[in-house]
Structure 1
Amino acid sequence: MENSRSKILKILYNSPEQWISGEEISHSLSITRSAVWKNINLLREMGYSIDSCTKRGHKLTIDNDILDEFNIKHGLRSEIFGQREILVFDTIDSTNIKAFQLATEGYPEGTIILAQQQTSGKGRLGRRWSSPYGKNIYISIISRPFISPMDAPKLTLTSAIAVFHTIEKFNISNVEIKWPNDILVNGKKICGILNEMKGDSDSVDFIITGIGININQKLNEFPEELQNTATSFEIIKNQTTGRVEVIKALLENFEKYYKMLTSGNFEDILAQWSAKAQIVGKKIKVQQLKESFVGTVKDITVDGNLLLDTDAGIKEISSGDINYI
């Protein structure tokens, strides 16, 4: 149920750059003028830029890139993802850890967890994800697909296609997918994806899709060891990008391709992924936890695994880090 603050925000959003009197808001919501003023001040404390004038009322003065549930849902064109509860944390250990906890408690598909900062952001193979405050997108999505556990890895490739199209929407070129779950721009990493599943041998209970996208992080704000291999919207475009609009585009694209996956149309996703990754025919080194392989990628299976032609024969690779040789 919407509170008065959200209702006031909706009124102001529906009349951008226009003065709305406190009396009009008070009458529309059946609350006192004092309550209107109190909620306007609360919105300012949240970061919304609102002008007030005794004789004219209140108005939103600029585009507000505030990371909150109302701002993200406003104008969001999705049916599930982002239309359930959106939980936004100021600082959290990891959005994936929190999402896993909430999904275990029964939170529904489509629940979104966001944070301004992660203190223990999770990457693949237990690595930490650089997560400075208020700069980037740290998001985890709860899904409950009716698919076999054997098919769960397909959601990683599906998520990668969703992120790929999201980044391209913001006029960024030279985007490519690095198998299995990284997105690169000009050969540098701009996004990582981490899927974590809970289920049994026969069914999937839920999958957490964690996505980190570098948005407004400057080069000198990356750890020194990442400055030659990482990039961001800010570095590429030399301007600040609104995170809320990127989140909206991401949720819309995620839902689009998630529906394709769960309706049995993974072949189209895989075809797109193969075209964007352009990995077939390339010589690579695959590093797994306990061993590594060198070979040429011959094909991609219907499950999204690599068929690697090595000196020891063809090996099917389902996980690992790769480097092009």
Structure 2
Amino acid sequence: MGKNLREPLLKLLIEQKEGYISGEEISQRLICSRTAIWKHINELRSEGYQIEAKPKAGYRLVYRPDRVAPEELIPHLSTTSIGRAVRYQRSVPSTQSLAHEWAKEGAQEGSLYLTEEQTAGRGRMGRIWHSPTHSGIWMSLILRPPIPLNQSPQLTLLTSVAITRALRKQTNLPIQIKWPNDLLIHGKKVCGILTELRGEQDQVHYVVQGIGINVNATESVWPEELRPIATSLAIEGGRTFSRPELIGAICGELETLYDGYLSYGFTPIRILWEEYAGMLGQEVTARTGQGSVKGIAKGLAETGALLLETHTGVQTIFSSDIEW
């Protein structure tokens, strides 16, 4: 059974709670040899799982490390496509680059690339994204939406709504959306979304959505210049959160909203986005390639562009950095 044995083996150990499960029972339930069980137990131990072996009693899971590996994620998934195909590596330069390669190889829609640490994480406009090990959710999602290229910005907004809904339910924190791709708590950034795609004028071939969420990070892991502007769920909530549980919740919200989007279009997403956007009715400055525009944020156009009410009338902002 090879690596496929690890997920059901870990599931059996987790289900036992504090009790033991015998090697014979594992062998019968997973249809494998006792030698194969021992090999995989040792592999799990090498990755930080503490598993006690007691003669005549069997195996007992004593401690689970905080990992986002598939065997930890699967128990939290309720989806049919998103998150069902997963690639996982403990450390990578960027999940975004690897997801692009996987998409070109033909990865199915909903495929997810996960890591514990990025050494060269990317944000919008070529910025660096700091992804300290085991402290956040660093992942890239592959979608293949049957939409024209000019509608692709709507996917960033859809994802920001899905993550906001999932995190609010899981943490009870007052998360707000900042156009076009950030989530904030009390004005500080907790999540960023990077949408990249390949396609032609009339059709998107595939989309890779990079999602970075500061989950259990403390201020000490960030460079000095980020500390006044970044935060984490743990800092704001006063406790740590299960990353696999959060990913499962995010995948569930994403699948629900994405299926709805493909059936009913962008309007329901726009309504939800405006509900969660903290900047509506506020004066903001949009810094575009053509200069700065000041105005009151009024909402979204059907394209996903931001509508700003300025002294010369309503302007449509398609791409910019927002100061608010």
* TM-score, normalised via structure 1 length: 0.93
1:123 aligns with 2:123: yes
Which residues in structure 2 correspond to 1:157-306 (within 5 Å)? 157-306=157-306
Stretch deviating more after TM superposition (138-147 or 93-102): 93-102
Distance 2:130 2:181 in 1: 16
Q: Partners in 2 of 1:30 and 1:171 — Cα distance?
A: 40
SS of the counterpart of 2:130? coil
Cα distance in 1 for partners of 2:251, 2:263 equals 18
Q: How big is the shift at 1:276?
A: 1.1
Question: How far apart, in 2, do the equivalents of 1:314 and 1:5 lie?
Answer: 57
Partner in structure 2 of residue 3 of structure 1: 4
- Matched-pair identity in %: 37
Unaligned runs of 5+ in 2: none
Mapped partners of 1:323, 1:28: distance in 2:
57
CA-CA distance at 1:182 after TM superposition: 0.5
> How far, CA to CA, are the matches of 1:3 and 1:310 in structure 2?
58
1:257-301 Cα offsets, whole Å, 9 max, x none, are: 111111124211111111111433322111124522222234421
Distance, in Å, in 2 between the alignment partners of 1:110 and 1:215 is: 22
Closer/same/farther in 2, CA of residues 95 and 141 from structure 1, 3 Å limit: same
The C-alpha deviation readout for 1:189-219, integer Å capped at 9, x for no partner, is 1000111111000001011111100011101
Task: Report the Cα distance in structure 1 between the residues aligned to 2:223 and 2:118, rounded to whole angstroms.
Answer: 15
Aligned equivalents of 1:92, 1:290: Cα separation in 2: 36
Cα 1:75/1:171, change in 2 over 3 Å: closer
Give deviations 1:43-73, integer Å, cap 9, x for gaps: 1112223222112101223455332112211
Contact 2:308 2:317 in 1 (8 A): yes
Q: Is the 8 A contact 1:48 1:66 kept in 2?
A: no
Q: Do 2:148 and 2:202's aligned partners in 1 also have CA atoms closer than 8 Å?
A: yes
The answer as to 2:36 corresponding to 1:35 is yes
Unaligned runs of 5+ in 1: none
**Offset at residue 91 of structure 1 (A):** 1.6
Q: How many residue pairs end up in the alignment?
A: 323
- In terms of fraction of residues, the more strand-rich structure is 2
Please say if 1:79 is aligned against 2:102. Answer: no
